[in-house]
Amino acid sequence: MKKLFRIFLLLWIITLTVGCVTTNPNPNKPKTEAEVLAEVNKNLEAVDELTIDVSFVPETDDPIDFLRILTVNDFHGALAETDQAAGAARMGKYLIDQRNLNPNETIVLSAGDMFQGTGISNYRRGLDVIKWMNAVKFDAMTIGNHEFDWGISEILKYRDGDLSNGEADFPLLGANIVQKANGQILPNTEPYTIINKGHLKVGIVGYIGYGLESDIAVGMVKDYKFESIPTTIGPIIEDLRKNQQVDIIIALGHDGSETTNSMLAGLTGYQAVDAIVNGHYHLNISDYITSVDNREIPIVQAGSSGEYVGDITLNINPITKKITGVSSSTVKMGSSRPKHDSIDNYINALIHATAPLFSRVIGVAGTTITKYPTVTWAADALKAHTNADVAFINSGGIRGDAFPIAKGTEVTVGHLYKIMPFDNTVKTVTLTGTQIRVILNFSLSSSSNLVAKGSSVTIDGVPLVDTRTYRVASIDYVFDQKQYPFLDGTNIEADGLLFRDVLIKAIEKMTQQNQEWIP
């Protein structure tokens, strides 16, 4: 999503005028949702007959003098190629080819948030991402906050030993995710995994960001808590080094805060960390942090949706097994990279199988629909859905290349994927009038690219009161940006609902009321 965007502040409820109400001219009875889902499920049976054929160069136990760590984070189900995502076929081929170049020395890791985010992934709760990760031979994955979006049991079933519901060939890690009822970590997860590479033992400790419970719907996380990271993983690392003879330690975190990274750099001796893999913030970062004992620790975070692959190299003395040098970088995935044929065939079959769902008609365009009226309508739909006082969205999320939509066009779910292709989720927060003014003042500053809608500040016709609190809705892309005070508010809620689904439901409601869609 482009950095340049416009913020629209909705301070009133847009009311449909009488002239917008007409009889739906479509005489054809569309398929019911149940019929569409049955068709998709039937199609997916054929997809499940397909296999992804991948060849790997065998590994040996010969001594190695470097370790290469390839990383993916916040993939968000980006299996298909889009303008924003290279797609699983391209990324998969890159990861496979790089492993085959140095099979003894290469590890492939995920820092979480792998599944939720696109229609073809969401439909089967990430199963097809699991199949891709198995084919590419991921070594481990840390659990992220969006793994809780469907209920964490939906993801934990991929390590329950039941092949009939899909099974991950790699461990799910979460050292600091504990059950409130018994203080134990999640079932079917591990705090760490040990991988033998050449003559080295590599320990990978997984964790989620401290406090990220607030980024998860309360109902999905109420039975769990995320413990302090250094105090949790420090003793684990010490045990790995002292009692299990692990040579190298990788901290694999769905977390990218500077505070956490600094605390990890403060661990020394048997608790020392050698490399840090980050996620959650969707940033493209390759950096280093100096430990308190003057070691250089590489850090990497590889954007989101498969845009980049993180790449850390640790140079190692094969005799002493000590690290002699480090490097950190990210590698851009893009349309110029070749695809893996077998993965590509599988993804195309998956897209074809789910097409009946995305071609489902949800309404009829009552006028020629263009971008900017749709931006205003979309923000109003968010405001109405959340019963908020104020709603903010970014106009860049409503894509100009989806327009115009001609009057009389049957509007499908596919149209909404073109209009709002990003898998942004809904968040709400309680802010004061003063905090809302901060957002407005930022939007009016000379250095800002933001534009606020409206020249006066009222809420449903009533002047904004600085000391009063207001319920504010936004999408995660805007909400999580630190220059705005959303995260400083209270009663933050994130139910995981896709903003796109809010728009779909709004159009469906109009259709049920015999109204055409007129933004």
Domain span holding position 316: 65-339
What pLDDT does residue 11 have? Answer: 32
- Residue 112 sits in the same domain as residue 178: yes
Query: Is the whole-model pTM more than 0.95?
Result: no
- Residue 256 sits in the same domain as residue 141: yes
For residue 14, tell me if it sits in a domain.
yes
What pLDDT does residue 16 have? Answer: 22
For residue 322, tell me if it sits in a domain.
yes
Do 429 and 490 contact (CB within 8 A), yes or no? Answer: yes
For residue 310, tell me if it sits in a domain.
yes
* For residue 12, pLDDT beyond 60: no
Q: What distance in Å separates the CA atoms of residue 168 and residue 186, rounded to the nearest whole number? A: 16
* For residue 402, pLDDT beyond 90: no
- Residue 320 sits in the same domain as residue 409: no
What pLDDT does residue 421 have? Answer: 66
Q: What distance in Å separates the CA atoms of residue 154 and residue 165, rounded to the nearest whole number? A: 10
Q: What distance in Å separates the CA atoms of residue 235 and residue 253, rounded to the nearest whole number? A: 16
Closest CA to 274 of 240, 306, 298: 298
- Residue 296 sits in the same domain as residue 387: no
- Secondary structure percentages of the chain, helix, strand, coil, to 5: 35, 25, 40
Last residue of a domain, one of 293, 308, 339: 339
**Which pLDDT tens digit goes with each residue over 119-177?**
788 889 999 999 999 999 999 999 999 899 888 999 999 999 999 999 999 999 999 99
**Which pLDDT tens digit goes with each residue over 286-320?**
999 999 999 999 999 999 989 999 999 999 999 99
- Residue 18 sits in the same domain as residue 105: no
What pLDDT does residue 230 have? Answer: 92
Average of per-residue pLDDT across 423-434: 92
Neighbouring C-beta atoms of residue 6, cutoff 10 Å: 17
Helix runs in 359-412, H state only: 371-386
**Which pLDDT tens digit goes with each residue over 429-488?**
999 999 998 887 776 654 443 333 444 577 777 889 999 999 999 988 788 777 789 999
Is 463 exposed, middle or buried, given 0-12, 13-18 or 19+ CB atoms closer than 10 A?
A: exposed
For residue 347, tell me if it sits in a domain.
no
Is the sign of the CA dihedral 227, 228, 229, 230 positive or negative?
A: negative
Please report, rounded to a whole number, the percentage of residues in the chain having pLDDT higher than 90: 70
What pLDDT does residue 3 have? Answer: 36
Average of per-residue pLDDT across 19-44: 67
For residue 58, tell me if it sits in a domain.
no
Average of per-residue pLDDT across 322-349: 96
Is 320 exposed, middle or buried, given 0-12, 13-18 or 19+ CB atoms closer than 10 A?
A: exposed
Last residue of a domain, one of 284, 305, 339: 339
- Residue 269 sits in the same domain as residue 170: yes
For residue 45, tell me if it sits in a domain.
no
CATH code at position 17: 3.90.780.10
- Residue 276 sits in the same domain as residue 422: no
Q: What distance in Å separates the CA atoms of residue 233 and residue 183, rounded to the nearest whole number? A: 15
What pLDDT does residue 41 have? Answer: 94
| Torsion-angle region of 190 (φ positive above 0: left; ψ -120 to 50: alpha; else: beta) | beta
Last residue of a domain, one of 280, 308, 339: 339
DSSP characters over 216-234: S-HHHHTTEEE--HHHHHH
- Residue 279 sits in the same domain as residue 376: no
What pLDDT does residue 399 have? Answer: 61
In 255-339, beta strands by DSSP E: 275-277, 284-290, 296-302, 308-316, 323-332
* For residue 27, pLDDT beyond 50: no
- Residue 319 sits in the same domain as residue 375: no
What pLDDT does residue 84 have? Answer: 67
- Residue 364 sits in the same domain as residue 335: no
Total domains, the chain? 2
For residue 43, tell me if it sits in a domain.
no
- Residue 335 sits in the same domain as residue 373: no
For residue 1, tell me if it sits in a domain.
no
Neighbouring C-beta atoms of residue 56, cutoff 10 Å: 11
**Which pLDDT tens digit goes with each residue over 81-96?**
876 689 999 999 999 9
**Which pLDDT tens digit goes with each residue over 166-218?**
999 999 999 999 999 999 999 999 999 999 999 999 999 999 999 998 777 65
CATH code at position 174: 3.60.21.10
- Residue 334 sits in the same domain as residue 364: no
- Written as six digits, the tokens of 31 are 């398929």
